[in-house]
Structure 1
Amino acid sequence: MRKILVGISGASGVNLGVKLANEVAKTNECHVVVSKNAKLVLEKEQKLNLSIKNAKIYDDSDISASLASGSFGIDSSIIAPCSINTLAKIHAGFSDTLLTRAAAVALKERRKLIIGVREMPFSTIALEQMAKLSSLGVVIAPPILGYYADIKNLEDMENFIIGKWLDALGIENQIYKRWGEE
């Protein structure tokens, strides 16, 4: 069983990160870090409390947690949604929270790191930061739709995005219609 980190930062679409973590936890050892701002956004956008099953949830302020060490052995990490603030911190090498420390660990250990940057339009600064991180092997995977997926409602749209993130993590899934599928 693979160890997967799902980080959720304070960008619009926090519910996507929660749904992603629940999907990851079905077949993997799932570790979740939810930033303080992500909790605020979840409350404002969805009027929901955090609900993730079968995963270990960490306090973002606990930089001494096991995730802060490369020896813990996280196989792959995804931050989704990834706020512009979190992107900037990762780019600059700031490790002032558990989430940004875990991203720094993924980079130093040369492990898969995926960031679902959630912003529109992207500033030139953010694009430069994403380009630099991409050159270091980070997968930049913003929540963008594919219209071939026969999307009929919000759940279909969310499943497409989450399915693409699961694909990037190497987790098999059938939660969205793929290109050429009937």
Structure 2
Amino acid sequence: MRIIVGITGASGSIYGYTLIRALHQMGIETHLIATEMGVKVMQFECGVKIKDLKEFAIVHNNQNLFASVASGSFKTDGMVIVPCSMNSLGAIANGVGDNLLSRAASVVMKERRNFVIVPREAPFNLIHLKNMTTLAESGVSILPASPGFYHQPTEIWELVNFMVARILDELGIEHELMERWGEKQ
């Protein structure tokens, strides 16, 4: 299995970081694309540098449109952008492919592969909602970073794992990151 993970400059880098580590632990080949602001926000919020993720993922330069993930002939099982800024979401919804992240997103959409976008913004304005609608109508799963609380979390990692579990569910990847409602693990 092969998954592309995008990290943008929206707050919530911990979700992307945790997803990359989870995919690595499951033995899933992971390709990472981070925007310039995604790199900065991850360093600020998590104290993690993108180069530190090279042990968990194949890291691509966002300006390298010759990267493997820029081509539909490079088979992947899907893509997740987590967190996804409204800037990146808008570019993708409007077909702008001027960097590797938006180009890879375009490829995943045209090839009709699993694609999950995790927007991290509040509140949404009408333009955000229209862009999300455009993507949803194109088959993209919009999964806002809105963790549930029915599992009665007491620590932040439980909220993060909840969201990562939902992302993995959308990709059809089995996991044991959270107890499902009505099931005891």
TM-score, with structure 1 as normaliser = 0.95
Specify the SS of the correspondent of 1:16: helix
1:7, distance to aligned residue in structure 2 (A): 0.8
**Residue in 2 that maps onto 1:64:** 66
- Deviation string, structure 1 residues 60-81 (Cα, Å, up to 9, x no partner): 1111101000001112111011
User: Can you give the 5+ residue segments of structure 1 that lack an aligned partner in the other structure?
Assistant: none
For structure 2, list consecutive stretches of 5 or more residues without a partner in the other structure.
Answer: none
Q: Shift of residue 90 of structure 1?
A: 0.3
Contact 1:150–1:177, Cα closer than 8 Å, also in 2 = no
Deviations 1:137-165 (A, max 9, x none): 00001111111122111011111111111
**Distance apart, 1:111 and its partner CA:** 1.1
Report 1:45-64 matches (<5 A): 45-50=45-50, 51-52=52-53, 53-64=55-66
* Segment of structure 1 superposing worse, 118-127 or 51-60: 51-60
Q: Deviations over 1:42-89 (max 9, x none)?
A: 122233323323321111111110100000111211101110000000
Any residues of structure 2 matched to 1:118-137 within 5 Å, and which?
A: 118-137=120-139
Q: Which moved more, 1:82-91 or 1:162-171?
A: 162-171
**Which residue does 1:165 correspond to in 2?**
167
- State the match for 2:155 in structure 1: 153
- 2:93 paired residue among 76, 80, 91: 91
For 2:42 and 2:30, the matched residues in 1 are separated by 20
- Aligned with 1:112 (options 101, 114, 123): 114
Percent identical: 38
Does the 8 Å CA contact 1:4/1:29 hold for their aligned counterparts? yes
Q: Distance in 2 between matches of 1:8 and 1:47?
A: 15
Q: Which moved more, 1:102-111 or 1:22-31?
A: 22-31
Aligned partner of residue 77 in structure 1, secondary structure: strand
How many residues align? The count is 181
> Could you report, residue by residue, the CA deviation over 1:9-50 in whole angstroms, capped at 9, with x for unpaired residues?
111011210110111122311111111111111122233323
Q: Which residue is equivalent to 1:9?
A: 8
Check the 8 A contact 1:148/1:178 in 2, yes or no.
Answer: no
The CA RMSD measured in Å over matched residues stands at 1.2
What is the Cα deviation at residue 98 of structure 1?
0.5
